[in-house]
């Protein structure tokens, strides 16, 4: 290879459209001593399409830690390894972190071969602010943990980017609408670069209703983007005020909890009260019922 031997190449591959495969990625894959793939069957199809015949080894979430020492020995012996995932850029909600970290710790060069990434592709076409954003990967599968995760991000002013599976997209969007607010701007990017590519930009409540009513929108690979919290909300109901209010709500009705939290944090009582209503709505009837006793 023209590059130094004994390097780990982190190679991005298409997320759908094979025309997105870069010439550099093709060269690195065709010249590597070994291809480390998340799914060897999936990658075999990709390599065969481009006429690349190289040894392939499986490196996925269940065996990565066990494979690291074996692959490090090969790298230390001067072999080059190309790491790929099923689609897109490795390590972005895909395996590879342990291998990359071990290679760096062992003084082995790690070379990025940039290319497709569903999160960045979606952001670039979303129309949402892209100067500051946070990639949150897949939300928790369980409803309670998922809503808690969204609550933690409720006041975040950055654009939020999530991946979501087809069989959970409807429930996840409903939880987002309940926690972030039905009027919060959002985008669903589905099946990017593929035949049925869809980008829908609308308020979260409308997006949730649309996906729930159309089974076709519950298929394929999903990226969900949510506009960050307004500057006022982010500044005035910060993480500290949110925590104080939550603690007080465990023992007091919302009106009293908001008033006491205002004294403790200096945040306006009406903002804390509105924030508490959102917390009650997202946590279900039990919390909401406490406030009817005031």
Identify the pLDDT of residue 193: 97
Give me the helices (H) in 130-253, please: 143-153, 169-180, 204-213, 231-236, 239-249
Average pLDDT over residues 74-79: 95
Lowest mean pLDDT across 56-65, 122-131, 225-234: 225-234
Identify the pLDDT of residue 2: 41
200 has which bridge partners? Answer: 188
Question: Using one digit for the tens of pLDDT, what is the confidence trace for 107-123?
Answer: 999 999 999 999 999 99
Rounded CA-CA distance 132/239 in Å is 18
Architecture label for domain 8-116: 3-Layer(aba) Sandwich (3.40)
Identify the pLDDT of residue 232: 65
Roughly how many angstroms between the first and final C-alpha of the chain, as a whole number? 74
Average pLDDT over residues 236-261: 89
Q: Where are the domains of the chain?
A: 8-116, 119-230, 237-291
Question: Using one digit for the tens of pLDDT, what is the confidence trace for 167-203?
Answer: 999 999 999 999 999 999 999 999 999 999 999 999 9
Rounded CA-CA distance 16/70 in Å is 31
pLDDT at 288 exceeding the cut of 70 = no
Identify the pLDDT of residue 61: 87
Write down the mean pLDDT value for the chain: 90
Rounded CA-CA distance 152/162 in Å is 14
**The CATH number, out of the four listed (1.10.630.10, 3.40.640.10, 3.30.950.10, 3.40.50.980), of the domain defined by the range 119-230:** 3.30.950.10
Question: What's the pLDDT band for 290 if we cut at 50, 70, 90?
Answer: very low
Question: Using one digit for the tens of pLDDT, what is the confidence trace for 28-68?
Answer: 999 999 999 999 999 999 999 999 999 999 999 899 889 99
Identify the pLDDT of residue 291: 46
Torsion of CA 115, 225, 192, 50, to 10 degrees: 20
Identify the pLDDT of residue 287: 43
Question: What's the pLDDT band for 149 if we cut at 50, 70, 90?
Answer: very high
Average pLDDT over residues 137-159: 93
DSSP E strands in the chain: the ranges are 8-11, 34-37, 56-58, 81-84, 110-113, 133-135, 159-164, 185-190, 198-203, 222-226
Identify the pLDDT of residue 238: 74
Answering whether pTM is above 0.85, one says no
Percent of the chain clearing pLDDT 90 (strictly above): 77
């Amino acid at each position: 290879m023209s590059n130094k031997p004994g390097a780990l190449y982190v190679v991005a591959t298409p997320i759908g459209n094979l025309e997105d495969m870069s010439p550099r990625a093709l060269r690195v894959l065709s010249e590597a001593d070994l291809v480390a793939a998340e799914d060897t069957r999936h990658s075999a199809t990709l390599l065969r399409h481009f006429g690349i015949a190289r040894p392939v080894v499986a490196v996925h979430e269940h065996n990565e830690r066990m494979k690291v020492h074996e692959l490090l020995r090969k790298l230390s012996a001067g072999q080059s390894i190309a790491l790929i995932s099923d689609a897109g850029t490795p390590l972005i909600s895909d395996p590879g972190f342990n291998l990359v970290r071990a290679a760096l710790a062992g003084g082995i060069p790690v070379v990025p071969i940039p290319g497709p990434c569903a999160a960045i592709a979606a952001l670039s076409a979303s129309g949402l602010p892209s100067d500051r954003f946070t990639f949150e990967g897949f939300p928790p599968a369980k409803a309670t943990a998922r809503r808690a995760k969204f609550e933690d991000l409720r006041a975040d002013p950055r654009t939020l980017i999530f991946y979501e599976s087809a069989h959970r997209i409807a429930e996840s969007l409903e939880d987002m609408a309940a926690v972030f607010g039905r009027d919060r701007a959002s985008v669903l990017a589905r099946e990017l670069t593929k035949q049925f590519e869809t980008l829908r930009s609308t308020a979260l409540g409308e997006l949730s209703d649309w996906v729930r009513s159309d089974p076709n929108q519950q298929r394929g690979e999903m990226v969900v983007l949510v506009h960050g919290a307004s500057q006022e909300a982010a500044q005035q109901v910060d993480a500290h005020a949110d925590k104080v209010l939550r603690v007080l709500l465990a023992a007091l009705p919302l009106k009293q909890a908001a008033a006491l939290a205002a004294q403790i944090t200096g945040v306006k009582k009406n903002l804390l009260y509105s924030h508490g209503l959102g917390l009650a709505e997202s946590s279900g009837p039990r919390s909401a019922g406490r406030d009817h006793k005031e």
